[in-house]
A and B are shown apart, each in its own frame.
Chain A
Amino acid sequence: MIPARTATATKVIRTVVTTALAILVIVVLWEGYKWMGQQTGGNWPGTGIELPVSTDDIIMPHAADIAAELVSDIRDGRSTLPLSVFLLKKAWFTLQEAAIGFFLGSAIGIGLAVLMLRWRVAERGLLPWINVSQTVPLIALAPIIVTWGRNQGMPDIVSISLISTYLTFFPVAVSALRGLQSPDSAHVELMRSYAAPWRTTLFKLRLPAARPYLFPAFKIAATLSVVGAIVGEISIGTKTGLGRAILEFALRYAVWPERLYASVIGAAALGLFVFGMISMAERLVLRRTDEVVA
């Protein structure tokens, strides 16, 4: 038997190695494709058929140039700092919006699920609208939310968080409902035979049973909350945030493509970070369940 600490260390090393390998594979594919395109003049080898993505330095800058951009200086207000630090600062702002969106959205999602569980008529009445809600394009929604928010005297960060909320509540509501409905009828009937009130059944049986359904939904919601915050920033305009940085770099893509790629990497990293946080929470919560079961 391997001691626990060694097992953890092995796991960490394995994660680091696989991540590094994955990055390496992406870089090799990227540079390989670029090299091939430049050898053949932008065509598939041996044919006259054009490659789907142009391989010039604007569309596909060298991976090394993008990496170098992350450590080179950029202006932030009156001072300058490395782009990676700049992106971290912006990401911190976006993370706050996303966090509000995530927690608010999850609470609303679970609340709706409980409501639909309690009253069948609510499920029939609400579920179609919850689905419809996600077909409303954000481009239509953003001005409505921000105009309403400003008329209420709320800062724009609240409006952006609400856009993020709008994206996050959906997966949580749908999965939570399925999770709450997941216990066997035998278990539900057992609770009934104890004359357990509805609330007790909810907290002692249904919510614990919903956990394996909830965490995948939380993971989707967490990444969506980042997407929502970034889209919200671009859509209604803020002075800071990752979305704002992406917008600025996109406008100057033609003269500085490396920065746009770097900021996209920053956004992806933030998405991975929140995903990781939820995974950690999941491990903590579900491990406890296992112990109970054992």
Chain B
Amino acid sequence: MKRQWTTRVVGLVVAMTLVAAACGSDDAAVGTGDCDSVDQVSLQLQWVTQAQFAGYFAAVDQGIYDKYCLDVTVREGGVDIVPQQQLASGAADFAVSWVPKALVSREEGMDIVNVAQVFQRSGTLQVSWADSGINEPADLAGKVVGNWGWGNEFELLAGSRKVGLDPSSDYTLVQQSFDMLALLTGEIDASQAMIYNEYAQVLEATNPATGALYTADDLSVINWNDVGTAMLQDAIWADGARLANDEGYADVTKRFVAGSLEGWAYCRDNSASCVDIVLANGSALGASHQAWQMNEINGLIWPSPDGVGMMDKGQWDQTIGVSTSESILASAPDSGAYTTEYAEAALDIMSGRGMDTTGRNWRPSTVKLNPGGE
């Protein structure tokens, strides 16, 4: 018995050595799974597992990061976790953060750099009931307007100033919670909502008047992308000092951005699979809610006319414009705040393999929401 066991162990070790030798190669091509060594990397998300982050979970689940010789730990956010702080303190290697929030941190002295602008559009809406007569920012006059605060209010503030409304006097600005209770109970006239999350929650609630779910026809939506005060949201941020001084980290960044963007491309082409991956990683959030979110998130990314992860200069300038005019930022950030170097390298790799990097032909699908998002 004992000898048999020893033989097996020896056999296993020999086999593993052979496999390792076969894998080890000096001219490892990036993204082919030909790895000399695997780098441990952590990514800090802004919030709990949901389809908003599907691309990263998919890249882990589908072995895409493995192909880039990365072992990625995706860390969920919590109520008190500020992703860019985790990044700057060295507790995370990369972070997902909205552009204005990260730029505020950068202005405060955190050396963080936007290395991939994943979301090309803002997902923030101001939602009200269709019969409220609120169809554009000017209609907010005299109404009770909810927002989440904590840096989530600037698109609204800039949008209303643009049409000549003074947020401090022309309407009542109230802080709302992240559920949609205040709108549902009529406490507020217009509620802040992400198109991929809170907006869907209203459509998952039962209308007491009809006994059926609310529909999009019951709602009126102000989309800040249309108003022209939208600000860029989810982007991948890296540590600026390490990028400049640590060649290994710069190389890891290149591979991490490529793997992540490939993950997003996977979710564009396989949204059902990505919903399943998110559900497996998350826990109690409903399936139809996540399917809705996946579809809407894809809509924020695709199409990416310049290629996925590339910075849309017009949107960047608009974000900076709103940030400075709303005094979120004291001054416009220097040119080092973002770089397209890593996204460009990723796009080269992806198009070299014949992958679609712009999603020009992507079309949103219709997702049916079930009660409670199940």
- Show the binding face of A for B, using Cβ within 8 Å: 54, 56, 58, 74-78, 86, 139, 142-143, 146-147, 150-151, 156, 233-240, 244-245, 247-256, 259
Contacts and interface: CB of A to CB of B under 8 A. Distances in A.
B180 interface: yes
Contacts of B77: 237
Contact of A75 (B180, B185, B287): B287
Given A151-B90, A151-B91, A255-B373, A86 B80 contact: no
Given A247-B48, A253-B179, A86 B82 contact: no
Contacts of B80: 139, 142-143, 235-236
Interface string B176-203: 0011110011000000000000000100
B305 interface: no
Nearest to A240: B283
Interface string B205-230: 10000000000000000000000000
Nearest to A143: B80
Contacts of B179: 250-254
Interface of B: 42, 48-49, 75-82, 85-86, 89-92, 178-181, 184-185, 201, 204-205, 276, 279-287, 371-374
Contact of A256 (B48, B178, B283, B372): B372
A146 B91 contact: yes
A58 B85 contact: no
A239 B180 contact: no
Given A147-B89, A254-B201, A255-B201, A58 B181 contact: yes
B280 A239 contact: no
B85 to A, nearest CB: 7
A248 B285 contact: yes
B81 A143 contact: yes
B184 A252 contact: no
A251 B178 contact: yes
Nearest to B183: A254
A73 to B, nearest CB: 9
Given A239-B281, A254-B181, A254-B201, A146 B49 contact: no
3 residue pairs, one from A and one from B, having the closest CB atoms: A237-B78, A150-B91, A254-B179
A86 B285 CA distance: 13
A147 B86 contact: yes
A259 B283 CA distance: 14
Contacts of A256: 372
Task: Give the interface SS of chain A, mostly helix, strand, loop or mixed.
Answer: helix
A254 B284 contact: no
A237 B75 contact: yes
A244 B81 contact: no
Contacts of A234: 78-79
Contact of A150 (B92, B184, B284, B373): B92
B284 A76 contact: yes
18 contacts: A54-B185, A75-B284, A77-B282, A139-B79, A143-B81, A143-B85, A146-B91, A150-B92, A235-B79, A236-B78, A238-B78, A239-B283, A252-B201, A252-B285, A254-B179, A255-B204, A255-B372, A255-B373
B86 A150 contact: yes
Given A143-B82, A247-B48, A251-B178, A151 B89 contact: yes
Highest count of chain B CB atoms <10 Å: which of A74, A150, A251, A255: A255
A81 B204 CA distance: 22
B281 to A, nearest CB: 7
B48 A248 contact: yes
A73 B276 CA distance: 18
Contacts of B178: 251
A98 B373 CA distance: 32
A244 B284 CA distance: 10
B79 A247 contact: yes
Contacts of A249: 284
A51 B91 CA distance: 48
Contacts of A77: 279-283
Contacts of B279: 75, 77-78
Nearest to A149: B91
A75 B283 contact: yes
Contacts of B49: 239
Contacts of A237: 48, 75-79, 81
